[in-house]
Amino acid sequence: QQMKVPPGAWICTAKSPTKVTIALYGTPQCAITRDWYFGTIAPLVKQHPDKVSIVMGQFWFARPHPDGEEIARLMLAARQHGKFCSAMKSLFDLLALEASAGRLTPAGKKALATQLGLDLGALEAEASSATVTSALQADKDYAASIGVKATPTIFVNGRPLPRFDKQALRSMVEEELNK
């Protein structure tokens, strides 16, 4: 069964491979995606650190997520340094702060670079590079090819979440863990 993981994706986990992979398509700028990440996905990964992993595909809509492309580019630039998972977590944390109001501020970008141990100028330059542009297009094309149409869209071991319900996600993960 196809895992529904974008090309070149980093699987964020304590151990590889894991029994369950949650593929999350969205952006840390999306309040609903953040709610799913903090309220259900991150706790499932924490509860089963050696059995459940997360992978994030870049997907956003420009109107409600005006910083979506820049956020995606920064995460993909961090991936070039082996820091995608740290960038993903940091961006979820930074964009959840009340002071950010869900927007990527200059202070937030500086905090991200500091947390990653990277130079902000170099990270921003890499975010504009042809390599990141190509990776971003590959993520968008892949998301379209598997039918991603909303933020968030979630797959568990390649199976789409059947309904937008957090208990359904927990049940799918438990079902996969018990196979």
pLDDT at 5: 78
For residue range 27-81, list pLDDT tens digits in order.
999 999 999 999 999 999 999 999 999 999 998 888 899 999 999 999 999 998 9
Q: How far is CA 1 from the centre of its chain?
A: 21
- CA dist 54 and 57 (Å) reads 10
pTM higher than 0.95: no
In which band, very low, low, confident or very high, does the pLDDT at 100 lie, cut at 50, 70 and 90? confident
Asked if the model's pLDDT at residue 2 lies above 70, the reply is: no
Please state, in angstroms and as integers, the Cα–Cα distance from residue 151 to each residue in 39, 127, 154, following that order.
Answer: 15, 22, 9
Please say whether the beta carbons of 10 and 58 come within 8 A. Answer: no
With contact defined as beta carbons under 8 Å apart, do 91 and 26 qualify?
Answer: no
- Contact, 24 vs 56, CB < 8 A? yes
Rg (CA), the chain: 15
Computed over every residue of the chain, the mean pLDDT equals 92
